[in-house]
């Protein structure tokens, strides 16, 4: 085996795909005046590519249901409170300061889009993010309890820099589900950032949890030092549909 092939095999073993690719191209040797020049170029390329791969991997592991970027938001169509506060939220200081964001308002006003967009920005900035719907999270918690892996799930849940919990209010829970959700949201209170979207005002959260004491305690913990964004307004999706129909001459 010649040295070039041997180095390619070494790169496979050491998991250096960018350097391996450069070696396989071969002709790149001719573009550098010394082995040190090539090594510097190759290592720099590997670092840059690894940085890009890490960003993509964080986005993949975040479990977003779809890719929605903040740049794709029609800011003029957002509820005014959200539009005004968006520039500050994009700075992601709420993650550093371990604060929550509560997006409360009407269906179709961009709550999920805004939450995912902030989550993707966080992934690109190097934060570990996890997205889930409330229904999916409660099911996971129940399954973990049944399988006696709840503590393992708790430890993993606590370590995310940002957790996004979507659609609070679309379904109600039984006593077990409400208590599990309360416990796990309480684990993050004041320790890490959480974004929650809900179509219900706080006064109506009891409809979901069916326990006034638990509801009051959870609301108190989630809203402490939190960014509460009023998302009441016209449906973003309906506006898009009307515009599409107008363009399609329906």
Contacts of 86 (CB under 8 A, 6+ apart): 70, 73, 75, 78, 114
Give the angle subtended at the CA of 191 by the CAs of 185 and 195, to the nearest 5°: 50
Contact predicate 89/125, CB 8 Å: no
CA atoms of 52 and 150, how far apart (whole Å): 33
Higher pLDDT, 2 or 161: 161
CA atoms of 55 and 126, how far apart (whole Å): 7
Instruction: Annotate 105-137 with b (16+ C-beta within 10 A) or e (fewer).
Output: beebbbbbbbbbbbbbbbbeeebebbbbbbeeb
Mean pLDDT of 181-185: 90
Predicted confidence band of residue 208 (pLDDT cuts 50, 70, 90): confident
Local structure of 196: helix, strand or coil: strand
Phi then psi dihedrals of residue 200, to 5 deg:
-115, 140
The token duo for 175 is: 């006593």
Q: What is the pTM of this model?
A: 0.86
pLDDT over 80 (residue 244): no
* pLDDT tens for each residue of 144-181: 998 889 999 999 999 999 999 999 988 888 989 999 99
Contact predicate 174/142, CB 8 Å: no
Write down how long the chain is: 250
CA atoms of 118 and 190, how far apart (whole Å): 19
């Amino acid at each position: 085996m010649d040295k070039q092939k041997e180095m390619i095999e070494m790169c496979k073993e050491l998991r250096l795909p960018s350097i391996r690719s450069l070696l396989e191209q071969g002709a790149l040797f001719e573009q550098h005046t010394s082995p040190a020049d090539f090594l510097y170029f190759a290592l720099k390329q590997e670092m840059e590519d690894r940085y890009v791969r890490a960003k993509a991997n964080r986005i993949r592991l975040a479990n977003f249901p779809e890719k929605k970027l903040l740049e794709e938001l029609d800011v003029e169509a957002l509820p005014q409170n959200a539009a005004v506060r968006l520039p500050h939220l994009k700075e992601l200081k709420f993650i550093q300061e371990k604060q929550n964001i509560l997006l409360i308002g009407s269906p179709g006003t961009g709550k999920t889009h805004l939450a995912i967009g902030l989550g993707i920005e966080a992934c690109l900035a190097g934060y570990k993010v996890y997205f889930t719907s409330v229904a999916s999270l409660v099911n996971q918690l129940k399954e973990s309890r049944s399988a006696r892996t709840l503590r393992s799930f708790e430890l993993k849940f606590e370590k995310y820099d940002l957790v996004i919990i979507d659609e609070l209010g679309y379904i109600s829970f039984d006593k077990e589900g409400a208590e599990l959700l309360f416990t796990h949201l309480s684990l993050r209170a004041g320790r890490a950032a959480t974004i929650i979207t809900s179509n219900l005002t706080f006064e109506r959260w009891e409809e979901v949890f069916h326990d006034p004491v638990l509801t009051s305690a959870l609301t108190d913990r989630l809203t402490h030092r939190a960014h509460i964004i009023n998302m009441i307004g016209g449906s973003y999706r309906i506006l898009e549909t009307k515009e599409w129909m107008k363009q399609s001459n329906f």
